[in-house]
Structure formats: C-alpha cells, structure tokens
C-alpha cells in the first residue's frame, strides 16, 4: 500500500512520474490550431466531444441567474468560511505589494522602476474529478491585490452543463463577471487567441490537467503563463515525535488528488515508517476517493528510512516537492536546511490542507522539482516592471566616450554614433 523504499529507489520512482507526452502534445496542438482558426465553433465542438456538454443548450457564459442560484445552494456556514478564507488570502498577499521607485543622484540622473498590473488575466479552475473553488480564490486574490482590472474565469462544466455552486460563489465574491463554461486545451486556446465571444487575455493562470499544462506551454509567447503545474506532491520529513495517524492522513490528502500525485514519508525511524504504512491502509478503506489515492500510493507513494534528519532533508531538497512538512520535534531548528520546496509546513499541527484552504499564501505552487528554481504564485505573478532611465547632458558628456568605446567593441557602430551625435562635432 505504502511501500518502504531505499532513497535511490524513491528517486527513480519519483522521476518516472514524467509522462510520455508525444501523443498528448499532438492532440493539444490540433485543438489549439482549430480554436485559433475557427473560434467559438471549435470551442463548442471540442466541449461536446470531450466533455459531453452542448454549450448551445446549457449556455456558454454564466448568467446572473446562475450566480443567484449558486448563492441559494451554498449554506451560510460554508459562505462564511469561504469569505474568511478569502480575507486571510488578501491579508497575506497585501504584504507582497511592490511600489514604483525613482532615485536622483547628485548629477541629476534619475533611475527607477515602475510596477504596473496586467490589464486582463484568464483564470483556469480545474474540473475533472473534483471542482476547486479554492483555486479561484488562490489565483484570483493575488491578481486583484496586484490591481488587475479584468479577471476572466474558465472552468469545465459538469455533464449536465452546470458549474459547482461554491465555485461560482467564489468567483462572484471576487467580482469576476466573465465566467465561461469551457475546460481543457480549448479553454486555454480561447483565452489566448480569443474567439467571437471571448476577448483574449494577457496572462493565463491556474492549475489543470496534462492537456491544460501542455496547452499553456504551447501558447506561451502569445500570452504569459504563471507556471507549468504538474500533479500534486507532498514530502513529510518526520522524527519519533510524529504521530503515524496524522502523517498518514497528510499523505492521503495529496494522494486523493490524482493518480499521478506523489506522497512520500522520509524518516530516520523505521517503526514510524511501518506504523504510518499501516495507518495509510486503515484510513484508505473509508476514503471516498479510495481508487484514486490507492493508485497514487502504489505508483508514486513511499516511506523511506534514512540514518538521520540531515539525510532526510538532503533527500527532500533533491525532490524539491510542492509541499514539504517538517513533522519534527524542533522544526524551526531545521528550517535553515530547507532549500527547495514550494511551501514549508512546520510542526505537527501545520497540516498541508491548512495551506490549501486557509492560511493565506496561494496554494498554486511549483511542482515536478521546479521548486529548485521557481516560486509560488504571488502578487508579482500579475505585475510587470519597467525600468526608468533619465540622464542629464552633463552626465552623458562625461561618460559618452566610454559608452561609445564599449559599443564599438561589440561592432555596433550605430550605437556609438547615437551617443556621439549629442556631442559637439559628433557624427
């Protein structure tokens, strides 16, 4: 159920999560091209073919009446929880806001940086095996804090043509007025290229399945994207102070996402590894998404026994997981040894779902080892920066010869002349 592996075995198993993409890539490119050429008709055709939904019957753009019905379907307690979670996310990301700046030196030169929000952003919220209203909040809130004026939501409809009520309420709570019933590669194409009914966006953000991920990669350059998000991952580094029941529950919290999700325990305590494996099997029996979690654990789950916490953290840094839990007696002592992770959860009570739903940081995180060089979604994801340069005549006179010298060293004569033209007797 949760195999006990050697570190080398785990690394081979983890890397095998990379898929053979040739056939998927070809299909995605076909979908993108047809939407680009045929617009809305292609979106409708692929939605009928792939999702079994006729957009002419259920409606493509969500109407006000559907939003009103969604609010009626969501309990007051659930609405209150959603709003409180939204506020937590807002408060966290408000601290990330960057301000434009300018600096003038003694010679009258001005250097600076201007921060501007993107104007129009497309949010993709996954459907598939489960709807994710939390992803709407975790993507939309940082965008709103950044100052994005137009947010567009695309999400695949259920077989009956409806959208999850809580997902619609989450979008409405953020003031999103454009909500489209479309998913997969056709949704990414519509957001990137535009159709007769969808105005193109400047950036596409939000996680999705492999078709969505490849489609985002293919349209990059036409629009910007947030990241190439893969299946969910959790690595738990634990010592003797950890509770096997809690560790097992946290591993299952990620395994239930997707058959490709990875869930790994690394510990110097062999007894903890064995007892956690027993707990995983026990808890799995009553899990509603048992089949999905079971496949994930069989293919990409493991308990690894190492000699000490140092070795556990070395291995965790190699894996660079999306979520890293430090279920240790002294988690703060070991935080400085963490180099690669999307989000770090410290202590026995910082369960990963706290980050998924409530704490504040966006749960859109780097996966597939990309935490080695990339960062979680933030306000900066939805901004762009411009450099500002003003040089005084006196300054240019002073340094112009050096600039021209460097330009000619690169064989760029026109660059040198552009400087010299501003001097007396220049070309």
Active site residues: 322-323
Q: Residue 306 and residue 129: Cα distance in Å, rounded?
A: 35
Q: For 145-202, give the secondary structure using H, E and C.
A: HHCCCEEEEEECCCCCCCCCHHHHHHHHHCCCCEEEECCHHHHHHHHHHCCCCCCCCC
DSSP, res 61: B
Cβ contacts of 146 within 8 Å, gap of 6 or more? 97, 117, 118, 379, 380, 381, 382, 383
For the chain, give me the number of helices (H) and strands (E)? 18, 14
Q: Residue 271 and residue 353: Cα distance in Å, rounded?
A: 26
Specify the 3-state DSSP secondary structure of 18. coil
Closest CA to 14 of 207, 209, 259, 261: 261
Q: Residue 282 and residue 300: Cα distance in Å, rounded?
A: 19
Cβ contacts of 399 within 8 Å, gap of 6 or more? none
Place of tokens 């007696």: 329
Three-point CA angle 231, 234, 235, nearest 5°: 140
Q: Residue 321 and residue 264: Cα distance in Å, rounded?
A: 10
Q: Residue 297 and residue 277: Cα distance in Å, rounded?
A: 10
Place of tokens 């567009």: 152
The distance from CA 307 to its chain's CA centroid, rounded to whole angstroms, is 34
Cβ atoms of residues 110 and 104 within 8 Å: yes
CB atoms within 10 A of CB 35: 29
Cβ atoms of residues 179 and 171 within 8 Å: yes
């Amino acid at each position: 159920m949760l195999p006990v592996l050697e570190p080398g075995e785990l690394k081979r198993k983890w890397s095998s999560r990379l898929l053979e993409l040739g056939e998927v890539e070809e299909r995605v490119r076909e979908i993108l091209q047809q939407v680009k050429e045929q617009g809305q008709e292609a979106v409708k055709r692929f939605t009928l073919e792939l999702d079994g939904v006729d957009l002419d019957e259920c409606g493509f753009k969500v109407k006000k009446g559907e939003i009103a019905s969604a609010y009626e379907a969501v309990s007051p307690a659930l609405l209150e929880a959603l709003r409180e979670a939204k506020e937590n996310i807002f408060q966290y990301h408000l601290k990330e806001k960057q301000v434009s700046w300018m600096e003038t030196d003694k010679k009258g030169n001005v250097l600076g940086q201007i921060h501007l929000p993107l104007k129009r952003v497309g949010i993709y919220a996954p459907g598939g095996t489960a709807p994710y209203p939390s992803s709407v909040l975790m993507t939309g809130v940082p965008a709103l804090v950044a100052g994005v004026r137009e947010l567009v939501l695309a999400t695949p409809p259920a077989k009956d043509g409806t959208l999850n009520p809580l997902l619609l309420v989450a979008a409405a709570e953020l003031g999103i007025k454009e909500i489209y019933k479309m998913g997969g590669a056709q949704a990414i194409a519509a957001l990137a290229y535009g159709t007769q009914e969808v105005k193109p966006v400047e950036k596409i953000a939000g996680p999705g399945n492999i078709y969505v991920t490849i489609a985002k990669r293919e349209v990059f350059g036409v629009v910007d994207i947030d990241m190439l998000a893969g299946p969910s991952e959790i690595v738990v580094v634990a010592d003797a102070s950890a509770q096997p029941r809690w560790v097992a529950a946290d591993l299952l919290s990620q395994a239930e996402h997707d058959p490709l999700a990875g869930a790994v325990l690394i510990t110097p305590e062999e007894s903890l590894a064995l007892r956690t494996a027993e707990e995983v099997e026990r808890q799995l029996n009553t899990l509603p998404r048992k089949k999905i979690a079971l496949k994930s654990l069989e293919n990409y789950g493991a308990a690894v026994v190492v000699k000490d916490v140092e070795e556990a953290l070395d291995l965790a840094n190699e894996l660079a997981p999306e979520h890293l839990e430090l279920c240790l007696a002294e988690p703060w002592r070991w935080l400085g040894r963490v180099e690669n992770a999307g989000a770090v959860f410290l202590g026995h009570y910082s369960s990963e779902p706290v980050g998924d739903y409530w704490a504040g940081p966006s749960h859109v995180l780097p996966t597939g080892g990309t935490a080695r060089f990339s960062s979680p979604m933030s306000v900066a994801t939805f901004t762009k920066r411009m450099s500002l340069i003003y040089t005084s005549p006196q300054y240019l006179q002073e340094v112009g010869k050096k600039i021209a010298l460097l330009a000619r060293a690169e064989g760029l004569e026109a660059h040198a002349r552009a400087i010299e033209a501003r001097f007396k007797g220049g070309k």
